[in-house]
Structure formats: C-alpha cells, structure tokens
Amino acid sequence: MANVVGSTLACEADDVLYTRAGPEIAVCSTKAFVTQLAALTMLATHLGQARGTLEARRVAELIRGLRGLPARAQAALDLEPAVVALAEHLLATEDAFFIGRGLDYPVAMEGSLKLKEISYVHSEALAAGELKHGTLALVTPGACVIAIGTQPDVIEKTVSNIQEVRARGAEVVGIATEDTAKTLSPHVDRLLTVPAVDPLLAPAVAVIPLQLLAYHVARLRGHDVDQPRNLAKSVTVE
C-alpha cells in the first residue's frame, strides 16, 4: 500500500494499492492514515464478497458508508472550535493517555502518536481492556485520559474503564459517535461527538479530532507542526 505513485515501495512490490491521498507536506502524516483505512476497508469488502463470507446486503452497507465518509469527515473537521478550546484547556498537560477497545484502540494509538510527535507531550496509548494488568498504575490524580468510544458492542465495557481512571482522579475526554454519545456523556468531563457512521468505518472519522488536537496543542506551544524536532519525512536508516 502506497500513497505516491512510482515510490520505491511501489516499484519494489509485486502489486500496489494506491491510497491517492495527495501530497503530505508535513513530516506528520494525517490524511494518508485515513485513506489507508478506506482503502483497506474496500479491499476487505471485496475479499469478503469474492469469498462469499460477506452478504450482499452488508457489502452494500459498507460501500454506502464509504461513499458517505467525505461528508462525515467534514463534519468532524467542523468540530475544530471545540478542539481548539480543548487544546487550550490541556495546554499545560505533560502526560496524556489514550484508551480504546477493539477498533477504537488503533485510533487511540494514532491519536497518541500524533500528540507526542508534534506537541512533544508524553503520551501513551493503552488497550482499555488491559488497564488492570498494569497500566492503570500510571494513572494519577490530574492525569489526562482521552477515551475513544465509537463501538456500540463494547461501549459499556469502555465506560467501566473510564470509571476506573476517574476513580484515580483522572480528567477524561471522550470521543464518541452520535450513536454512542448518550452512553459515554455521563462518564466524561468533556465530550467530542462525530457523526453517526457504520462502526467498522468509525475509526476514519473519530481520528480526525485527535489529529486536530495534536495540531492545536503544538501550535499553542509554539512548535513547528510541519517540521517536528528530530524527525524527517523520509526514514533512510534502520
């Protein structure tokens, strides 16, 4: 999978699936992540259809959902004023923890990576279901925890994890869809809600406010968001 046509990776591979996200000027890659999710979903949908493991009705739902992603992504971008307010609130934060279950965990990892990459805030992504196996010890009073809760089938368990970190004095920011916001809202201090979307496609939308958050925290701290320290666009050493 590659974004740039004719790149070294594309030339070396036997087959290439291009994401065609367009140029990523900054070292920190954002839109390429979202287009990779879309491309992989299309690939998985095609394979499911070809192998007969995905019903035609479900294929149609996913394709319809993919076609609707641009509008939902724009709605997520429209949350920017709320994200700026959150960035201002978290400006003095030196430790942030992102938690999520199932498909929300990779979103937590992407949000954590972007925050540390350009704002230089120490950040960790934790599998919400693994908190009691050790990582909960890192959560102290005043800690910032960003909980991603977009998956209806595990939202109640995510709420249980949120209650665990709040009991340790953490401040919790929730990321929900319109389908999960009602469940998540009573248990978080602040909530960002993205449009309702098929749960399998939710990561592509839920990650956008997290990428915006990293951008605005870095900007408010006076950092160069396009050229973060010690990093380069092309990694040429192992």
3-state secondary structure of 137: helix
CATH of the domain at 109: 3.40.50.10490
As a whole number, mean pLDDT of residues 24-52 equals: 92
- 98 pLDDT above the threshold of 90: yes
As a whole number, mean pLDDT of residues 65-82 equals: 96
pLDDT of residue 186: 97
As a whole number, mean pLDDT of residues 86-112 equals: 95
The residue with greater pLDDT, 140 or 103, is 103
pLDDT digits (tens, 9 = 90+) for 142-198: 999 999 999 999 999 999 999 999 999 999 999 999 999 999 999 999 999 999 999
Q: Which residues constitute the domain of residue 211?
A: 81-221
- Residue 19, domain member (yes or no): no
- Residue 149, domain member (yes or no): yes
Q: pTM here?
A: 0.92
As a whole number, mean pLDDT of residues 55-65 equals: 95
- Residue 64, domain member (yes or no): no
Please report which confidence band the pLDDT of residue 226 belongs to, taking 50, 70 and 90 as the band edges: confident
- Residue 169, domain member (yes or no): yes
- Residue 152, domain member (yes or no): yes
Please report which confidence band the pLDDT of residue 238 belongs to, taking 50, 70 and 90 as the band edges: low
> Which residues lie below 8 Å from residue 61, measured CB to CB, with a gap of 6+?
198
Per residue in 179-199, is it b (16+ CB within 10 Å) or e — as a string?
A: bbbebbeebbebbbbbbebbb
- 225 pLDDT above the threshold of 90: no
Mean pLDDT of the chain: 93
- Residue 132, domain member (yes or no): yes
Q: Bridge-partner residues for 175, per DSSP? A: 148, 192
- 111 pLDDT above the threshold of 80: yes
How far, in Å, CA of 213 to CA of 8, rounded? 32
Cα angle: 168, vertex 146, 144; to 5 degrees: 50
- Residue 85, domain member (yes or no): yes
Of the ranges 56-70, 131-145, 218-232, the best mean pLDDT one:
56-70
Please report which confidence band the pLDDT of residue 234 belongs to, taking 50, 70 and 90 as the band edges: low
Count of domains observed in the chain: 1
pLDDT of residue 224: 86
- Residue 202, domain member (yes or no): yes
